[in-house]
Amino acid sequence: MIIKFTKMEGCGNDYVYIDGISQSIPKEEKPELVRKLSDRHFGIGGDGVIFINDSGIADFEMEMYNADGSRGEMCGNGIRCVGKYVYDYGLTDSTQIAVESFGKIKYLTLYPENGKIARVKVNMGPAILEASQIPVLYNETEGKKIELGDGTKISCAVIDAPLEIGANTYKVTCVSMGNPHAVLFVDNEKELPLTQIGPLFENHVRFPNRINTEFVRVIDEGHVSMRVWERGTGETLACGTGCCAVGVACVLGGKTSGKVLVDVLGGQLEIEWDEANNNVWMTGPARTVFEGTVDTALF
């Protein structure tokens, strides 16, 4: 099978994008195809593969897979690139679109420059803070009862809660942005041995669906820096949903204001959490790297 693809990235978080509207690939074949295409030595290379499909409930569907072939619920950097793809390739002429991912709809504002999309703002929806819904295995005696500005009552929010990793105990704040995140604050994120400790967080027994982990250093009340270990992929240059989770965790921990710049290894994202309405906004770049075709018979 000859497949047309486009390689795209948002802050260095790179995926292989495939138009699933014009190219039909059986669902059962996708995990193995994803693993092969994502391989940086023997394939195209990327943090995963994203199929852009028709949707019955939105303008388009984003079907996102991690590099190991596992399905992901949401990808913030990926969805910005989906917005760029559908506009740049003429699948839409609108700069306001809705994209479905894992049954949930996100709303995108596209910003053209010279006829192409350069930046995208995404309404990422509400932050999920109830432990059982993230999901993380903390009970009500370990979590906190909080009430958000919109009146939402959380019976078990995991905020600065202890997590034992080997001989060490870390304090984590857990947030779901459609996928689960554990955020912890550190003095120096640059020197952390992520390849050693990242898998220990990802596969910890408290995280039944595994976890994405953000290691965050606060610079000032409007600026932080982070590294991220993504489940199913490893360390990446950026994670859009992770940056959103960081923005929420910073407010919950009294670290920053509700609007924060998040430095990642691949660039910078603007995050704003409107706590009064429990709505998270993410703004950042999207870029096409190259396009081509691949013959799956060669794998």
Identify whether the C-beta of residue 23 lies closer than 8 Å to the C-beta of residue 43. no
Task: Report the C-alpha gap between 48 and 68 in whole angstroms.
Answer: 8
Task: List, in order, residues 6 or more apart from 7 with CB less than 8 Å away.
Answer: 14, 15, 16, 17, 44, 45, 46, 288, 289, 290, 291
Query: Which one of 11, 75, 244, 250 is the catalytic residue?
Result: 75
Q: How many Cα atoms occupy the beta-carbon half-sphere of 220 within 13 Å?
A: 1
Q: Is 239 a catalytic residue?
A: yes
Of 156, 174, 239, 243, the catalytic one is 239
Beta bridge partners of 283: 121, 270
Is the Cβ–Cβ distance between 42 and 208 less than 8 Å? no
Of the candidates 208, 271, 274, 193, the one whose C-alpha atom is nearest the C-alpha of residue 238 is: 271
Phi and psi at residue 288, to the nearest 5°: -90, 130
Which positions are catalytic? 75, 239
